[in-house]
């Protein structure tokens, strides 16, 4: 049933921005310091987004929770006029989440691309995933002194939840809690394996502190009567290894590069199938990493080496599954 729903979901339902994967050059012109500064305005401010010789009037504001405190340059939300964006790559878009460079160091810039890779990798495993589009952004601060150099950094925008739901034939859900039996078994098993592979422990099916909805760092969709958990926010994962990333104390991990299986105990054969799904994509995963624009070879090979550690373990399926069984959460 699920496969049928996915098969009939027409690509035309998805906005053109996320139908391609090539990088887009854009310029954001406006009061950058007022929006991004620690004492800046939390309100949406007027900006111009320039792309392909076209100027679009948009609104820009800070978004996010922890990263607002941790980052030198916080994540942003871009608010487009749908009618004005016609004929541009942003046609059909309203509000878009923009993941920016958190910190301006060389490793900090690489972290942006490494998180982008986490989204791309999950997208190789399943259509029920957030698509992303890479941007090379020139920030031109209209409040800055004349003659100063513009800031050029990589970033990426994330497919909105309503577009994802429409694309895969699903319905977005907003629930305080979810019974484990409501989830599609194969899809959640794939999430378990993916999160383990990229070294991410910053997620769960439990409502996060100060939130009213399930789940932590994931959205829920109903597809054909089954619930699907769609993960996001991978900045604390091992593949990113951000300078500010630390594992939760209760995890008792040395650092975020150390993997910990956080899936619920599930049918071993369902989990085996998920492992095989991931393993079948190894070559494509490595190709995506090595061909990401702007990612220096040093960081690309670090990402490949880190994931290779998982794939080496996964060659012995039985041993890997037994390790999952020892660590799994009893529902």
DSSP E strand stretches across the chain: 24-30, 45-51, 54-62, 76-79, 95-99, 132-141, 151-158, 171-173, 218-223, 226-231
Which 3-state string (H, E, C) describes 161-224?
HHHHHHHHCCEEECECCCCHHHECHHHHHHHHHHHHHCCCCCCECCCCCCCCCECECEEEEEEC
pLDDT computed for residue 9 by the predictor:
39
Tell whether 211 and 232 lie within a shared domain.
yes
Question: Which strands form 218-223's sheet, in the order they lie side by side?
Answer: 171-173, 218-223, 226-231
Tell whether 156 and 183 lie within a shared domain.
no
Tell whether 192 and 277 lie within a shared domain.
yes
Tell whether 176 and 316 lie within a shared domain.
yes
- The answer to whether residue 2 sits within a structural domain is no
Distance CA 257, CA 187 (A): 24
Which whole-number Å values give the CA distances from 127 to 89, 130, 166, 170, in the listed order? 21, 8, 12, 12
Tell whether 141 and 185 lie within a shared domain.
no
- The answer to whether residue 4 sits within a structural domain is no
Tell whether 265 and 133 lie within a shared domain.
no
Tell whether 149 and 185 lie within a shared domain.
no
Domain boundary among 111, 141, 162: 162
Tell whether 158 and 175 lie within a shared domain.
no
Beta bridge partners of 155: 135
Tell whether 143 and 206 lie within a shared domain.
no
Domain boundary among 114, 135, 162: 162
Alpha-helix residue ranges (DSSP H) falling in 48-184: 66-70, 106-125, 161-168
Tell whether 158 and 193 lie within a shared domain.
no
Tell whether 76 and 105 lie within a shared domain.
yes
- The answer to whether residue 113 sits within a structural domain is yes
pLDDT computed for residue 82 by the predictor:
80
- The answer to whether residue 5 sits within a structural domain is no
Domain boundary among 103, 134, 162: 162
Which residues constitute the domain of residue 45? 10-162
Tell whether 17 and 144 lie within a shared domain.
yes
pLDDT computed for residue 6 by the predictor:
39
pLDDT computed for residue 67 by the predictor:
77
pTM of the predicted model as reported, rounded to 2 decimal places: 0.92
Number of domains the chain contains: 2
Which residues in the chain show pLDDT less than 70? 1-15, 38-41, 145-148, 207-212
- The answer to whether residue 195 sits within a structural domain is yes
């Amino acid at each position: 049933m699920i496969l049928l729903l996915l098969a009939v979901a027409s690509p035309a339902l998805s906005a053109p921005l996320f139908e391609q994967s090539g990088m887009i050059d854009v310029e954001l012109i406006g009061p950058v310091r007022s929006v991004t500064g620690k004492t800046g305005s939390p309100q949406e401010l007027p900006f111009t987004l320039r792309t392909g010789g076209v100027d679009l009037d948009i609104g820009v504001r800070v978004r996010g929770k922890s990263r607002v405190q941790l980052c030198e340059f916080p994540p942003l939300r871009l608010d487009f006029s749908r009618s004005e964006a016609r004929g541009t790559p942003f046609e059909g878009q309203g509000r878009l989440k923009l993941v920016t460079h958190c910190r301006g160091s060389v490793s900090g810039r690489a972290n942006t691309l490494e998180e982008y890779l986490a989204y791309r990798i999950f997208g190789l495993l399943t259509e029920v995933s957030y698509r992303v589009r890479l941007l090379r952004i020139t920030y031109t601060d209209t409040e800055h002194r004349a003659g100063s150099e513009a800031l050029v950094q990589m970033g990426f925008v994330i497919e909105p939840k309503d577009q994802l739901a429409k694309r895969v034939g699903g319905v977005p859900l907003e629930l305080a809690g979810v019974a484990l039996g409501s989830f599609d078994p194969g899809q959640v098993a794939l999430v378990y394996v993916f999160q383990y592979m990229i070294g991410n422990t910053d997620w769960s099916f439990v409502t996060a502190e100060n939130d009213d909805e399930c789940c932590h760092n994931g959205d829920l969709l109903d597809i054909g009567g089954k619930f699907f958990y769609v993960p996001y926010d991978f900045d604390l994962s091992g593949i990113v290894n951000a300078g500010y990333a630390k594992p939760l104390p209760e995890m008792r991990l040395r650092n975020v590069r150390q993997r910990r299986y956080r899936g619920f105990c599930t049918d071993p054969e369902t989990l085996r199938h998920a492992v095989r799904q991931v393993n079948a994509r190894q070559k494509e995963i490595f190709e995506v990493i090595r061909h990401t624009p702007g990612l220096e070879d040093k960081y690309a090979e670090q990402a490949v080496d880190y994931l290779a550690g998982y794939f080496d373990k996964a060659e012995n399926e039985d041993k890997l599954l037994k390790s999952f069984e020892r660590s799994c959460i009893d529902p």
